[in-house]
Structure 1
Amino acid sequence: MTGTDERPDAFARTDDGVSVAYQCRGDEAGRPLVLLAGQANNHHWWDGVREDFHGTARTITLDYRGTGASDAPRDGYSTPRFADDVVGVLDALGIERADVYGTSMGGRVAQWVAARHPERVRRLVLGCTSPGGPLAVERDASVRRALAQPDPDAVRQTLTELMYSPGWIAEHPVPYGTLGDPGMPPHARRGHLVASNRHDAWNALPSVVAPTLILHGDQDRLTPPENVPLLAARIPDARAHLLPGARHAYFEEHREAAGALVREFLG
């Protein structure tokens, strides 16, 4: 089967009783590859590129709690909790070990999957992300102010420009699948924001045993590329690659180059 098929969601039940939707695409005989989306996004974050991995992989996505078809509880939002939800999906599928590729907040979640459940991760890819905590390099004050505007249209425009270059935006009209799940209830959106902001895996990263590839756009202002050497220094078996001219959604705008790097790394 190809990556364009629309098999229905399946559901995993977490240990705290939350129903988490997940989606499997590609050849069922392929090596399992978990794709983890950014903050406040569902599995459609990956729609533009997931089929690029179906030559060798069976891709697995999920709707984080609070997004998509998953339950939206009032609490339980943190990157370690999201990581445990990922493992719950692997358990539901009977998958003992998978490759894990997380971008943005998904990269933060992927750090915890690899650190807390090292036996479940064969290879790890971290994209446009950071270790979190006081030693991470945060976005500058002008970006924070722009994203905190009261006008939602202005915020969406700012986020679009942080994700993509002007040339790419001009050639690729909306909609974009990386600007947030419009169906999220407000409490879940706040929960995702708090989860991402409170992420701090600094002390856990040295326990990651999976070979790790770190990818980042060198023009990323949403998550500054200065976080790349921090991650690379904390993870024992890590290599890093900066994509010239790329912003936060490097995996989509620089699809060919980024996809080739990931496929080569995963083997």
Structure 2
Amino acid sequence: MKPIIEYSDFRQFMLDYYEDRKHRSAFSWREFSKIAGFSSSSYMKVVCEGKSKLSRIGVERTGSAMGLVGFEMEYFRAMVEFGQAPTEEKKKAAYERMLSIAKVHKVRVMEGDLFEFYDSWQNPVVRELAPLMPGATPGEIAKQCYPDISAAEVQQSLNFLTKAGLLKKSGNNAFVLAETSIKGTPDATRLALRGMHRMMSKLATPAIDLPVNERNFSGVTMGLSRESYNKIETVLDECRQKIISIAAEDKNIEQVYRLNLQLFPLTKNVKECENENA
């Protein structure tokens, strides 16, 4: 079984612990729950299936049942909070504690690169721009970005991207795109992407002032049913995939663009409100 610090999903860690014990002995969900001090014989199974949560006391009991002590117990507490936090702010704080614990013990958390990549809009932009400017200094790359950034910020992105394997050096100040992709658990990926979407949405506002031949803005306000929403969501996803294919086939790239596809409610659900008031 992998060390706990290589996990970001506490339920997966508990499940792997159970499977490992079961493989080595006659271990059952009933015994697991009993050792953790829960009266329900299937409580640990229900938690692992995501049908129930661990309370603060439950976290301590479960960690003790799995023999966690010291930094491992501290990491488990943070991992449970990450998995159960009700807000994005609390989730991010818990994840940062996980990364901090891992760093102290010189272990790389599976999704650490995922969070760092999406922590700044500069990383995806520099990743696309640097290969287009072989031999360019960080300062020269910075001057090509519409939002003002410094040479030091570009250098920081380049250092991270090469360390993470997302860019490869091909000479002095020359880079090529690597095939490496950053993947994580769905929960971690959603949290990381929310921050990126916020940053990119803010960058869209000043872009309205660019020449009309360099940007495309359009929008429509409409009433929808859930069925129509789902159909439009499918069309948008198909459109996004087609656009990605067009970009992938381009052999004469000149600029780095960002495409935001946004469909969001401007009102509450009227029918749900009517049912609540009935």
TM-score normalised according to structure 1 size: 0.26
Q: Which has the higher strand share?
A: 1
Identify which of structures 1 and 2 has the higher relative contact order when contacts are C-alpha pairs closer than 8 Å and 6+ apart.
1
Q: Which has the higher helix share?
A: 2
TM-score normalised according to structure 2 size: 0.25
Higher Rg of the two aligned structures = 2
